[in-house]
Structure 1
Amino acid sequence: PIWPLPRVWIGQAYPGHRTVGLLLIVPFITAVGVILGHYRLASGSILVPAVLHGTLNAQVGGLPAVLVAVDSPLLGGLMGLGGIIVLWAVALWILRRSDAPEC
């Protein structure tokens, strides 16, 4: 999906780093899409991934973002490089599981 790209371009996500932010948002939303897609297929309901998406949105801009000091939004936080690595580890684990639903 391309809907997060304008948010990055105006500086809301990755403030001060528009160009690099555009490069980071693609692997972020792809990993999140794999995870949410898995829960959609596994649960048979749109409600489970919808609640998870809302929880993700609350985490990205909520209390954890305030409590964790990060020098650069490119490195820390869930949307930074560290978070993207963790999300991709989870996404790859889901994709490699033998009982994961095939698309």
Structure 2
Amino acid sequence: MTDRHPPQDCADMPALRQQIDRLDRDLIALLAERAGYIDRAIALKTANNWPARIPARVEEVVANARTTASAAGLDPDLVESLWRQLVEWSIAREARVIREE
């Protein structure tokens, strides 16, 4: 396991890259965890005859991501773009299972 170091404590590119690689692994683990919740959403939506796409929820998720990004000092436009792609992937995953187009 790689120790966590703030960017300013990385003395060289290998140390910096090690931290970026660690963060990438952490992000992927979080995305995998999120996918598990999407799987649960599929079960709930199927049981309740709900559609995969709920437009108001899509916009709520994107707005929340933009707000969180702004608060963290990250470009909200970048985060919105990433989140829209993530949400679309999630909806497609749900739709495949609950047989929506």
Higher helix fraction (1 or 2): 2
Check whether TM > 0.5. no
Instruction: With the length of structure 2 as denominator, give the TM-score of the two structures.
Output: 0.37
For normalisation by structure 1, the TM-score amounts to 0.36
Larger radius of gyration: 2
